């Protein structure tokens, strides 16, 4: 690990491999850190130059405030600043960018803002290009004008409380350990000896209005909350993060590989973290029905946007692992590593 000053904050960065090796930039997802990539690193060849930052508010990086009105750009700008540091990357490097979950939205933003700096993209369980929640169709049409049901108010308050308390207990379904076992992977046995390490990454999350989960505002629309302007979950609210058009229009289109598990509980068309789907299941009272508030078709949206990306001159592959959940690089590290090497 090295600590660097970039974009006015202290960033903690996992670095491995020779300085002149083919560069690979790893961007972790929400409620994790760079160490969440450790199960993958064991399966990568040693000649690669690996750079994996802790995003702001995660791991050992500074918990700088997150301005959600910029979408995921605070994170993307932090990451892009690392590309200009000679102690991390060769001059003018264009790394293969590998990202997980929320980190995929960060990677998409880096591509849009710095297309010449991205060699290829490997998107693992990516957040939809239309954000998380609050949209009804493949075009990302909002379910309500204020995107009710998305953002910081959608976090389970007991999970947030336990996260802030660094709770390592696994008995309650809202404990970070239980969420790691049931939502991050399809089979908790796949965590193996890495469970404590991976739980450490979850518990490294900075909790508060400026970080996770962020703020919310009252809404006249079900379920009574709308996204605020501060904090992590609001960065992915579809009023702040809608990158589909910019992604399709980017002038330089590197190849994209999209990897997902068919039992993903977080990013799917039946996401257990989408309040509309939970309402449909009867777990959130007052759901106004599928006509007013259908679950977000997350996977369908990503496929539709990548189809447009390919039609506009780019290319992509969709790789689906049967029986796999939200973290293929943890659950199927050898297969995931092979996809990474294939892109290189």
pLDDT tens-digit profile of 98-130?
A: 999 999 999 999 999 999 999 999 999 999 999
- Per the structure, the count of domains in the chain is 1
Rounded to whole angstroms, how far apart are CA atoms 164 and 214?
Answer: 13
In this structure, is residue 188 part of a structural domain? no
Supply the DSSP string of 221-271, one letter for each residue: STTSEEE-SBSHHHHTSTTT---HHHHHH-SS---EEEEEETT-SSSSTT-
Burial class (CB in 10 A: 0-12, 13-18, 19+), 91: exposed
Who's near 112: CB < 8 A, 6+ residues apart?
A: 243, 246, 247, 250
pTM for this prediction:
0.97
In this structure, is residue 338 part of a structural domain? yes
Q: Please state, as a whole number, how many other Cβ atoms lie within 10 Å of the Cβ of residue 18.
A: 10
Q: What is the pLDDT at residue 90?
A: 86
In this structure, is residue 58 part of a structural domain? yes
Q: What is the pLDDT at residue 92?
A: 82
In this structure, is residue 322 part of a structural domain? yes
Point out the residues of the chain with pLDDT beneath 50.
none
| CATH assignment at residue 8 | 3.40.50.1820
Supply the DSSP string of 80-140, one letter for each residue: HHHTT-TTTS-TT--PEEEEETHHHHHHHHHHHH-GGG-SEEEEESPPPTT-SSSB-STT-
In this structure, is residue 203 part of a structural domain? no
Strands 225-227 and 216-218: antiparallel
In this structure, is residue 189 part of a structural domain? no
In this structure, is residue 193 part of a structural domain? no
To 10 degrees, what angle do helices 73-82 and 102-113 make?
70
pLDDT tens string 251-276:
999 999 999 999 999 999 999 999 99
Q: What is the pLDDT at residue 278?
A: 97
Which strand (E) or helix (H) includes residue 196?
helix 195-203
In this structure, is residue 185 part of a structural domain? no
- 197-222 burial, b at 16+ Cβ within 10 Å, e below that, comes to ebbbbbbbbbbbbbbbbbbbeebebb
Q: What is the pLDDT at residue 145?
A: 97
Q: What is the pLDDT at residue 120?
A: 98
* Full residue range of the structural domain in which residue 44 is found: 2-140+236-343
Using alpha carbons, select from 29, 6, 26, 28 the residue that is nearest to residue 16: 26
């Amino acid at each position: 690990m090295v600590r660097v000053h970039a974009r006015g904050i202290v960033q903690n960065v996992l670095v491995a491999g020779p300085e002149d090796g083919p560069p690979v930039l790893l961007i972790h997802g929400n409620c994790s850190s760079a160490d969440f990539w450790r199960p993958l690193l064991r399966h990568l060849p040693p000649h690669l130059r690996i750079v994996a930052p802790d995003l702001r508010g995660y791991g050992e990086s500074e918990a700088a405030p997150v301005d959600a009105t910029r979408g995921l750009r605070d994170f993307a700008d932090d990451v892009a600043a690392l590309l200009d540091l000679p102690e991390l990357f060769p001059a003018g490097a264009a790394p293969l960018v590998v990202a997980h979950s929320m980190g995929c939205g960060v990677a998409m933003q880096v591509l849009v803002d710095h297309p010449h700096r991205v060699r290829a993209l490997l998107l693992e369980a990516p957040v939809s290009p239309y954000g998380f929640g609050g949209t009804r169709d493949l075009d990302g049409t909002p379910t309500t004008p204020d995107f009710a049901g998305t953002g910081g108010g959608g976090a389970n308050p007991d999970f947030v409380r336990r996260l802030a308390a660094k709770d390592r207990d696994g008995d309650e379904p809202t404990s970070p350990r239980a969420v790691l076992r049931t939502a991050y992977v399809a089979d908790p046995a796949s965590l193996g000896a890495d469970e404590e390490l991976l739980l450490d990454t979850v518990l490294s999350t900075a909790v508060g209005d400026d970080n996770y989960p962020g703020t919310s505002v009252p809404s006249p629309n079900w379920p009574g909350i709308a996204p605020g302007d501060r904090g992590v979950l609001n960065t992915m609210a579809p009023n702040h993060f809608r990158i589909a058009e910019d992604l399709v229009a980017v002038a330089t289109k590197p190849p994209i590989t999209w990897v997902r598990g068919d039992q993903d509980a977080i990013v799917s068309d039946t996401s257990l973290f989408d309040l509309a789907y939970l309402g449909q299941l009867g777990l959130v009272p007052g759901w106004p029905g599928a006509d007013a508030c259908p679950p977000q078709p997350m996977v369908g949206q990503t496929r539709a946007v990548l189809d447009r990306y390919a039609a506009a001159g780019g290319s992509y592959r969709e790789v689906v692992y049967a029986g796999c959940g939200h973290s293929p690089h943890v659950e199927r590290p050898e297969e995931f590593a092979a996809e990474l090497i294939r892109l290189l």
